[in-house]
Amino acid sequence: MHSIQHLIKIALEEDIGSGDITTENLIADNLKGIGEVVAKEPLVIAGLDITRQVFEQLDTEISFKPNFKDGDFIEKDKIVLKVEGKLRVLLLGERTALNFLQRLSGIATHVRSYMNSIANKNVRLVDTRKTTPGWRVLEKYAVRVGGARNHRMGLYDGVLIKDNHIAVCGGIKNAMECIKDKLSHLVKIEVEVSDLDGVKQALEAGADVIMLDNMNIDRIKKAIELINGKSVVEISGGVTINSLNQLADTGADIISSGALTHSARCVDISMRIRSNNNNK
């Protein structure tokens, strides 16, 4: 997995390349300035520390002063943070810093709207692996900032027997028997099913978690009655903010939604840069 520092390095190299030919030919290296990052719309902020690291990779002496913390709701036109240092550094890092901040804040804002729609509901909302390649650790962090939880981080930290596994293994029972012999007794096993027959098979095989995939409300309710507390119940597939309340009222334990990450838009955040008074 890429470290955040590595991701920042790649992003800066992608943008700067062999050098910023505009800034280097307009701005003297000794000039200093101040950058103000402004929220251009109401949003939930996420990624402030990553923003700081972008500028610090360019210059460790940069001054970074946030006015909020990750998870705070920020009104339109509020100054999110101030960064002070060499003008060249501010201009070099501006776009990369904003790209991180806008994307992660967009996810956090999007997720917060989902969480607000099921306030006081006894259900856990989680994300999926439908994330931007290389950005998973960041996007899942933004999901937590927005108030939801993470499903497994990747293929390595959770067992989820999906439809293709079941097809290849010749059924749920075969798949479960095979994997139980190879796992520690401490590892839980989740099975994805799409109909009531699958629910019955997963129960008989001893699944710890049963994922009800792309089922309608009536079928979900019948499935939960069948499970009757014998397994943790997760609802997945086609979950939207409009369907959340109805799904939350079924009695399921978990609702997972890829839309938390793949359907979030970047929020509008800008950076105003000016020379400071010492340069006049």
Measured distance CA(180)–CA(200) in Å, rounded? 18
Q: 105 with 36, same domain?
A: yes
Which candidate in 32, 82, 130, 221 is catalytic?
130
20 contacts: CB under 8 Å, gap ≥ 6: 88, 91, 92
| 130 assigned to active site | yes
Q: What is the pLDDT of residue 277?
A: 61
Q: Which domain holds residue 100?
A: 4-115+265-279
Specify the CATH number for the domain of residue 24.
Answer: 3.90.1170.20
Are the C-beta atoms of residues 63 and 126 closer than 8 Å to each other? no
Mean pLDDT of 243-267: 97
Stated pTM of the model: 0.95
Best CA proximity match to 257, nearest among 225, 211, 210? 211
For tokens 């200093």, name the residue: 32
Q: 146 with 255, same domain?
A: yes
**Longest Cα–Cα distance in the chain:** 77
Report the range of poorest mean pLDDT among 40-49, 127-136, 269-278.
269-278
Q: 127 with 257, same domain?
A: yes
Q: 152 with 250, same domain?
A: yes
Q: What is the pLDDT of residue 45?
A: 98
Measured distance CA(131)–CA(141) in Å, rounded? 11
What is the torsion angle, in degrees rounded to the nearest 10, for the CA atoms of residue 150, residue 156, residue 160 and residue 163?
A: 120
Q: What is the pLDDT of residue 276?
A: 84
Query: 3-class SS at 79?
Result: strand
Specify the CATH number for the domain of residue 218.
Answer: 3.20.20.70
Mean pLDDT of 40-68: 98
Question: Which strand (E) or helix (H) includes residue 149?
Answer: none
Q: 130 with 205, same domain?
A: yes
Q: 246 with 270, same domain?
A: no
Measured distance CA(275)–CA(280) in Å, rounded? 8
42 contacts: CB under 8 Å, gap ≥ 6: 73, 74, 75, 76
Mean pLDDT of 33-56: 98
Pairing of β 43-44 and β 73-74: antiparallel
Q: 84 with 152, same domain?
A: no
Q: 273 with 255, same domain?
A: no
Number of domains in the chain: 2
Q: 248 with 143, same domain?
A: yes
Share of the chain above pLDDT 70, in %: 98
